[in-house]
Structure 1
Amino acid sequence: MIPSSATVPPGQARPPADRVADVVRHAVHAGLLGESQPVAGFVDADGVRDSVAALQDAFAGTPQVLHTFAAKAASLIPVLRLLADCGMGCEVASPGELRIALDAGFAPSQIVFDSPAKTREEIRQALVLGVALNADSFAELRRIDELRPEDSASVIGLRVNPQVGTGSIGAMSTATATSKFGVALRDPGVREDIVRAFAERPWLTRLHAHVGSQGCPLELIAAGIAETYRLAEDVNSALGTRRITSLDIGGGLPVNFADDGVRPTFAAYVAALRAAVPGLFDGRYALVTEFGRSLLAKNGFIGALVEYTKDAGGRRIAITHAGAQVATRTVLMPDSWPLRVGTFDPGGRPKDGPRLAQDIAGPCCFAGDVVAHARELPELREGDIVVLYDTGAYYFSTPWSYNSLPRPAVYGFTISQGGAVRLAPVRQAESLDDIAAASGLAYADSLRELHDDQSLRDGSPIVLKDLR
């Protein structure tokens, strides 16, 4: 780790934009961003700690609450380990996410497994480990009936879809009438089926609901949680016992991408819940949360080299190395996922001067690979650096392999009160050898050899071996 020469007066925190500028300059000087490494992601370790603290503070005084981080938002083991050190649990939605959560150091009892497509083997593994499971359907509950060991320590819940409606981004709304997630609570007869499911399974003790995330207002999220709370009360009343003892209320706090401000805050989220569901915090139900984007988005950014600039149809276009492979949602749904763009010179210093309408395009070989359209920015030139802000969640951590573009390197950073920047590796850049291996290099001749096999010519049956 190489400290930078940037300094600020002791005791004064650097504003977010200044922190990014310090890191960009340091990364350029260290050779971590530029011609030899034209795109990289950066995670603010101090910011992550601060965001977790804000979440914990918002729920202070709540008797029993487990805050889990949605691993899909930043599936990087060093980031997950930092979150574990901050007292977080982990929400996973695949065997891969379960593996990296365990490798990151989360205890099985602090992990919640959500997925609408869990296989029998995945369910069996979770039950043996003692990982909490939220069944997504009655069919999955029946599988758990078959697979659950009597001594399993797993807390098991049922995910319900409260069907309270959609936010402004349909694809991010999971409580619509026809959502693929959960048991549709308002469909005819389903409420009675839910009561029966709990009556038949003494080990079923949790309800889970998640309304959605980006584009879902606090009122909609609170309405979904209120429906789930009322269902828990009804089930317990119908059974004459406190069968449901915990509620997994999901996550989904939207992120402000318009500026540096954090809004809504976790405190505003809790205030909305207290207004809609006053009994949620009285301790009768243990709570689980599953926040992801709201903890990481503003604590990361992408830096990318401007390789060329050109003019077309009266528009300036900057061709950079950050496009759909690291900003997939923004490229495919620009109105729903707009990103702010920062501009820096080849030395990593913020650019200034007259502004020009420019497209910020990526390296992918399709016409729509543009992360910002007609954006008024200081004029960009070859060798400059652009920054895509608020990309700490879902962007560089889970890149798209379009055009066999490599996964970018990722670095974590801290900045001392004196302004010293320290960088640490989070993930190495993918090499060309890595790409070739993932593309089947070890089996390069396999298809050709199929046609050379004698059995193809004489009609003999074929048994393929060693395919796994």
Structure 2
Amino acid sequence: MAADTHAQSASTRRDRAVRAAARQGLLDTEPLVCLLDTAGIRASAGALTRAFADALPAGAPVLHAFAVKACPLVPVLRLLSSVGVGCEVASAGELALARAAGVAPEHTVLDSPAKTPAELREALALGIAVNADNGQELRRIDALVAAAPTRSPIGVRINPQTGAGAIDALSTATATSKFGVPLRDPGAREWLLRAYADRPWLTRLHTHSGSQGVPLPLIAEGVRELYALAEEINAAAGRRQVDTLDIGGGLPVNFSSDAETPTYAQYVAALRAAAPGLFSGAYGLVTEFGRSLTAKHGLVLARVEYTKATGGRPIALTHAGVQVATRTVYAPAAWPLRILPYDAKGLPKTGTPVPQDVAGPACFAGDLLATARELPELAPGDLVAVPDTGAYFFTAHHGYNSLPRPAVHGFTVDAAGAVRFAPVRPAQPLSAIVAEAGGANPDALL
């Protein structure tokens, strides 16, 4: 019931935000804007925090670190930090964003399968937690730690090799995944035991077995393997050398409705069933959720520029396409999105549903957000809203056709229903596109 109530209030906030965007002229100068529901992001962060707090003994250490790649916007990172959520970063750029948001080093985790010496050196100097991906990187860390002692917690990422989910490209725990030490490969477990025995400063273990398309039992199986290995390392050491388990994130998101399923409580229940000791308080925990914290709270809002019919099927030509929904355009079966129709005043559009395509502005035929979608027939000036796009969609802009990055606005709705917008990221000016394309050096190749 609580989840249903939240979904209803989220949809009400969304409708009010679309109407306010139309009334306040957000689409007057730009035909495409993106919106973030700050109350929704806060609610998801609260649900995550409560799910773990309810399962752990009082005072058990846990850090929830947001996967910055999901929504690399400084105001979003700042918002999450204000409610106790840190950052998981996987590049120098993401670390710079976390630092710009004021996220403390002790609330930051560095992951990446290809960390440079400079990236490692910076993280270790700041005291940021580091998860080594492989043996070569661990030897690089050996030299850095010997040269300059660090307070950074350091661990090793393992690949439990528990199998793929429904989307191969996102499955990180396959037999041949590029991530981590492959736990089931011959000799790998023995190598890990020696690595920890030789390095008393290795105090963490990390895995990331979840992602979109991966069912909860399979995610939990990977975490169970992590827990078992930690127990084995500690038994061999004769002490509690590994004191923290970084269990990653990857909770799938429901893109078919406003319901937020699966929930964090269901995720925790699956982990407790697979590895009960995980919640005993014997280990500190780190999570790295991204998509599940922000996806449901993002909205692409685009104006319908033209409509036409081809082969008897209506087509609505909009300004939202591959640049803001890259995965959907190139892999529509894996990443289907809903289309919500509104009229020019921002009111939900009604009428007899008609199969129609909703197309983007890019110059290739496949730039489609929906094909033969049953919607009230769209007309020029109408608005189409694309929900569930607050992670890996408009926050991961694709520069095809030199289409500019759209503006992003956060919004809040007060008790009286009034909507207030706050600028998160400005629309990219054409001058910036020219500058990024070498505009300062036009004669460089002559």
Alignment correspondent of 2:95:
98
1:52 to 45, 53, 74: 45
SS of structure 2 residue aligned to 1:335: coil
- The answer (yes or no) to whether the contact 2:272–2:279 under 8 Å persists in 1 is yes
Q: Write out aligned runs for 1:355-370 (5 A).
A: 355-370=353-368
- The answer (yes or no) to whether the contact 1:13–1:417 under 8 Å persists in 2 is no
What do the CA deviations read for 1:144-169 (whole angstroms, capped 9, x no partner)?
01112543111111000000001011
The size of the alignment, in residue pairs, is 437
1:338 matches 2:336? yes
Alignment correspondent of 1:38:
31
Q: In the aligned structure 1, how far is the partner of 2:6 from the partner of 2:388? A: 22
- The answer (yes or no) to whether the contact 2:314–2:355 under 8 Å persists in 1 is yes
Alignment correspondent of 2:19:
25
Q: 1:199 to 1:336 in 2, by over 3 A?
A: same
What do the CA deviations read for 1:110-158 (whole angstroms, capped 9, x no partner)?
1000000101111111111111110010110000011125431111110
Q: Given residue 261 of structure 1, which amino acid in structure 2 is its aligned partner?
A: A
1:117 matches 2:114? yes
2:443 to 445, 448, 457: 445
- The answer (yes or no) to whether the contact 2:154–2:204 under 8 Å persists in 1 is yes
Q: Write out aligned runs for 1:263-274 (5 A).
A: 263-274=261-272
Q: Quick one: percent identity of the two aligned structures? A: 59
- The answer (yes or no) to whether the contact 1:159–1:209 under 8 Å persists in 2 is yes
TM-score, normalized by length of structure 2? 0.96
Q: Write out aligned runs for 1:65-464 (5 A).
A: 65-148=62-145, 149-448=147-446
What is the CA-CA distance between 1:79 and the residue it aligns to?
Answer: 0.6
What do the CA deviations read for 1:266-314 (whole angstroms, capped 9, x no partner)?
0000000111100001111100000000010111110001111111112
- The answer (yes or no) to whether the contact 1:123–1:144 under 8 Å persists in 2 is yes
Instruction: List runs of 5+ in structure 2 lacking aligned partners.
Output: none
Q: Given residue 245 of structure 1, which amino acid in structure 2 is its aligned partner?
A: D
SS of structure 2 residue aligned to 1:106: coil
SS of structure 2 residue aligned to 1:165: coil
Q: In the aligned structure 2, how far is the partner of 1:14 from the partner of 1:429? A: 30
Alignment correspondent of 1:454:
none
Q: In the aligned structure 1, how far is the partner of 2:210 from the partner of 2:441? A: 42
Q: In the aligned structure 2, how far is the partner of 1:185 from the partner of 1:108? A: 29
Q: In the aligned structure 1, how far is the partner of 2:246 from the partner of 2:205? A: 6
Q: In the aligned structure 1, how far is the partner of 2:171 from the partner of 2:149? A: 37
Q: In the aligned structure 1, how far is the partner of 2:280 from the partner of 2:185? A: 30
Q: Given residue 432 of structure 2, which amino acid in structure 1 is its aligned partner?
A: D
Q: Given residue 208 of structure 1, which amino acid in structure 2 is its aligned partner?
A: H
Q: In the aligned structure 2, how far is the partner of 1:392 from the partner of 1:203? A: 38
What do the CA deviations read for 1:214-269 (whole angstroms, capped 9, x no partner)?
00000000000000100111111112121111100000000001101011000000
What do the CA deviations read for 1:359-418 (whole angstroms, capped 9, x no partner)?
111011111110111100000011111000111111111211111000000000011121
Q: Given residue 361 of structure 2, which amino acid in structure 1 is its aligned partner?
A: P
- The answer (yes or no) to whether the contact 1:323–1:331 under 8 Å persists in 2 is yes
Q: In the aligned structure 2, how far is the partner of 1:146 from the partner of 1:153? A: 15
Q: In the aligned structure 1, how far is the partner of 2:357 from the partner of 2:18? A: 21
SS of structure 2 residue aligned to 1:43: strand
SS of structure 1 residue aligned to 2:119: helix
Q: Given residue 109 of structure 1, which amino acid in structure 2 is its aligned partner?
A: E
- Aligned-residue RMSD, C-alpha: 1.3
Q: In the aligned structure 2, how far is the partner of 1:16 from the partner of 1:425? A: 20
Q: In the aligned structure 2, how far is the partner of 1:308 from the partner of 1:136? A: 50
Q: In the aligned structure 1, how far is the partner of 2:334 from the partner of 2:219? A: 19
Q: Given residue 59 of structure 1, which amino acid in structure 2 is its aligned partner?
A: F
Structure number, greater radius of gyration? 1
- The answer (yes or no) to whether the contact 1:128–1:152 under 8 Å persists in 2 is yes
What do the CA deviations read for 1:181-210 (whole angstroms, capped 9, x no partner)?
000000000000000110111111110000
Alignment correspondent of 1:466:
none
Q: In the aligned structure 2, how far is the partner of 1:326 from the partner of 1:241? A: 50
Q: Given residue 290 of structure 1, which amino acid in structure 2 is its aligned partner?
A: E
What is the CA-CA distance between 1:12 and the residue it aligns to?
Answer: 11
TM-score, normalized by length of structure 1? 0.92
- The answer (yes or no) to whether the contact 1:31–1:37 under 8 Å persists in 2 is no
